[in-house]
């Protein structure tokens, strides 16, 4: 019997996604929750094959104003629109410092009564009074914060968490030993097992391991309730093409961008037509759905209306494939560098196109001459001669190859299970315009406009969000005596 998802208790009313200065943090903006009250001292970690993602909550009656946060956004933050990312300011060099955890022991009468002895301070009464004021007021508001690290540099992740615990102890006037007693690490992903002893031994806190797939679904259910979190390409083009065939004259031949002569859509290929980005400003739970989680590999998960789920498919050709091959083929050292290379490339120098084979369009099958017939098809030359290809062109070709493959597998599974909503998650997308456009257009084409590709601003943090929520649910169950 499949496990059922738990009820989510975090108050998301009035939630606001914060704006960041750096495009590198476009998928890790803080979420301010103005109505959430309870203190939180646990930290969630999702350690995958390539990246480790950290989620934690810090209290504040107002949205934070750290150096990397410039404002709260009641409307769409500029740098999150795939079409506008090039307009974003240069990356910030400062490390984010998003406040401190609120230790649960502050609300424990036994701790409040012994705070003078624990601190060893002459002004213990003042410290106790300050703590009591903070806990009695229970002012609402706080931020869900997001950080990511390369798994190969897991020590950096551990050091960040250790610094957060130490900073939290100091900010709350709590001895570090007492702070550690109140902090819990909720770990998920393969690294929750691989690095279990490292987290527990170095941080000296309780570490609890949670099921990876359960956390993904919990994270998806929660994050889709945040206003302006989910975005997709609008249906304007699909509706225009399906209703009037060739309404509008954009290309001089009476066709809309992406429309063929017979009023259909071009097959997915390089540089698919751009669509307007739409954000879900008034979200409601949207189940059933398909979740395509693109991490190092790809997991495809069917989620039923009642929240039950099943991993129904997947592929080993995912973000790790792109990252690994581009590491071999280009001088890039980070995934963001690789994406930057791809933005400047021309895949036609590397890929074999329909026009390279037919010398023209293959109209009978709806194949334009610019369609990719074979990814990397121009690289091999008979006679031993090897061509020279730019890193930009190689990057764009490989990005299209991986994205198109994922898009078609996602469509086939959505068709098999009769699901219209397809969420794409995982750290592969990173708000990258070419990736989003390729996946979205592939779903649009193969489904003839009946299915929609949906994207998430915090796409890479579903597992860590879910792990964070698992502890929230457990604490409330314990307090009510539920077994």
* Cα 72 to Cα 49: distance, rounded to the nearest angstrom: 33
- Residue closest to 458 by CA, chosen among 91, 146, 40: 146
Same domain, yes or no: 292 and 325: yes
How far CA 319 is from CA of 424, 432, 435, in Å, comes to 13, 13, 11
Same domain, yes or no: 186 and 235: no
Q: Does the N-terminal peptide bond of residue 283 adopt cis geometry, omega within 30 degrees of 0?
A: no
Same domain, yes or no: 252 and 185: no
Q: Does residue 94 contact residue 67 with C-beta atoms inside 8 Å?
A: yes
Same domain, yes or no: 212 and 129: yes
In a domain, 352, yes or no: no
Same domain, yes or no: 410 and 475: no
Q: How many domains does the chain have?
A: 2
* Cα 254 to Cα 269: distance, rounded to the nearest angstrom: 21
Same domain, yes or no: 219 and 264: no
Q: Does residue 461 contact residue 46 with C-beta atoms inside 8 Å?
A: yes
Local structure of 274: helix, strand or coil: coil
Spatial neighbors of 137 by CB under 8 A, at least 6 apart, are: none
Spatial neighbors of 16 by CB under 8 A, at least 6 apart, are: 31, 32, 34, 63, 72, 73, 74, 227
In a domain, 298, yes or no: yes
Same domain, yes or no: 87 and 43: yes
- Residue closest to 258 by CA, chosen among 245, 243, 246, 273: 273
CATH for 332:
3.30.420.40
What confidence score (pLDDT) does residue 476 get?
46
Number of residues that make up the chain: 483
Same domain, yes or no: 194 and 315: no
How far CA 456 is from CA of 49, 283, 290, 474, 482, in Å, comes to 21, 12, 14, 26, 33
How far CA 147 is from CA of 25, 103, 461, in Å, comes to 9, 20, 9
In a domain, 24, yes or no: yes
What confidence score (pLDDT) does residue 29 get?
85
* Cα 339 to Cα 329: distance, rounded to the nearest angstrom: 14
How far CA 90 is from CA of 25, 45, 87, in Å, comes to 11, 28, 9
What confidence score (pLDDT) does residue 9 get?
72
List the chain residues with pLDDT less than 50: 1-8, 66-94, 107-128, 130-138, 237-263, 475-483
In a domain, 370, yes or no: no
Strand partners, 255: none
* Cα 476 to Cα 188: distance, rounded to the nearest angstrom: 20
Local structure of 310: helix, strand or coil: strand
| Helix pair 391-416, 319-329: axis angle to 10 deg | 170
Burial letters for 347-372: b for 16+ Cβ neighbours within 10 Å, e otherwise?
Answer: bbbbbbbbbeeeeebeeeebbbbbbb
Label residue 256 exposed, middle or buried (CB < 10 Å: 0-12, 13-18, 19+): buried
* Cα 34 to Cα 22: distance, rounded to the nearest angstrom: 24
Using the structure block, give the residue that is written with the tokens 């895949």: 347
What confidence score (pLDDT) does residue 391 get?
92
Q: Does residue 39 contact residue 108 with C-beta atoms inside 8 Å?
A: no
Ordered alpha helix ranges (H), 344-432: 354-358, 391-416
* Cα 155 to Cα 203: distance, rounded to the nearest angstrom: 11
Tokens of 88: 């974003």
In a domain, 358, yes or no: no
Same domain, yes or no: 60 and 131: yes
Q: Does residue 309 contact residue 220 with C-beta atoms inside 8 Å?
A: no
Q: Does residue 82 contact residue 458 with C-beta atoms inside 8 Å?
A: no
Same domain, yes or no: 282 and 321: yes
In a domain, 210, yes or no: yes
- pTM, to two decimals: 0.75
Same domain, yes or no: 269 and 334: yes
Q: Does residue 323 contact residue 338 with C-beta atoms inside 8 Å?
A: yes
In a domain, 367, yes or no: no
Longest CA pairwise span in the chain (Å): 87
Per-residue pLDDT of 18-57, as tens digits, reads 876 555 566 778 899 988 877 788 999 999 888 899 999 9
Domain that residue 421 falls in: 230-347+390-456
In a domain, 363, yes or no: no
Per-residue pLDDT of 298-345, as tens digits, reads 999 999 988 899 999 999 999 889 989 999 999 988 888 888 898 888
Same domain, yes or no: 319 and 422: yes
């Amino acid at each position: 019997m499949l496990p059922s998802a738990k009820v989510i208790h975090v108050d998301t009313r009035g939630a606001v996604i914060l704006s960041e200065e750096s495009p590198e943090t476009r998928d890790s903006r803080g979420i301010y929750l103005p109505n959430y009250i309870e203190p939180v001292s646990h930290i969630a970690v999702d350690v995958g094959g390539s990246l480790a993602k950290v989620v934690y909550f810090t209290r504040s009656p107002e949205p934070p104003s750290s150096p990397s946060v410039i404002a709260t956004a009641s409307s769409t933050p500029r740098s999150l629109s795939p079409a506008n990312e090039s307009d974003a300011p240069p990356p910030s060099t400062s490390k984010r410092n998003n406040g401190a955890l609120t230790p649960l022991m502050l609300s424990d009468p036994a701790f409040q009564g012994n705070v003078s002895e624990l601190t060893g301070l002459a002004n213990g009464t003042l410290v106790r009074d300050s703590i009591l004021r903070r806990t009695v007021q229970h002012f609402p508001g706080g931020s869900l914060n997001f950080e990511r690290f390369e798994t190969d540099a897991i020590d950096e992740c551990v050091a960040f968490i250790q610094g957060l615990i130490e900073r939290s102890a100091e900010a709350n006037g709590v001895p570090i030993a007492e702070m550690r007693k109140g902090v819990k690490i909720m770990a998920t992903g393969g690294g929750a097992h691989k690095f279990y002893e490292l987290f527990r031994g170095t941080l000296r806190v309780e570490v609890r391991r949670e099921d990876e797939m359960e956390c993904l679904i919990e994270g998806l259910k929660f994050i889709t309730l945040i206003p302006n979190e989910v975005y997709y390409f609008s249906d304007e083009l699909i509706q225009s093409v399906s209703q009037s065939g060739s309404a509008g004259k954009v290309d001089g031949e009476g066709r809309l961008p992406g429309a063929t002569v017979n009023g259909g859509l071009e097959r997915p290929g390089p540089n698919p037509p751009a669509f307007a980005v739409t954000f879900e400003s008034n979200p409601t739970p949207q189940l059933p759905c398909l979740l395509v989680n693109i991490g190092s590999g790809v997991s495809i998960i069917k989620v039923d209306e009642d929240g039950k789920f099943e991993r129904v498919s997947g592929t080993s050709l995912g973000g790790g494939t792109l990252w690994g091959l581009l590491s071999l083929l280009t001088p890039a050292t980070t995934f963001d560098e690789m994406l930057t290379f791809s933005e400047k490339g021309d895949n036609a120098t590397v890929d074999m196109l329909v026009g390279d084979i037919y010398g023209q369009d293959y109209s009978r099958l709806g194949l334009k001459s610019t369609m990719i017939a074979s990814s990397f098809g121009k690289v091999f030359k008979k006679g031993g001669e090897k061509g020279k290809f730019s890193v930009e062109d190689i990057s764009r070709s490989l990005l299209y190859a991986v994205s198109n493959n994922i898009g078609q597998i996602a469509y086939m599974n959505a068709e098999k299970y009769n699901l219209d909503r397809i969420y794409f998650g995982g750290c592969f997308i990173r708000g990258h315009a070419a990736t989003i456009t390729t996946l979205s257009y592939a779903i649009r084409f193969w489904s003839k406009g009946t299915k929609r590709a949906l994207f998430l601003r915090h796409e890479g943090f579903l597992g860590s969000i879910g792990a964070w929520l698992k502890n929230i649910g457990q604490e409330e169950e314990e307090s009510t005596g539920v077994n």
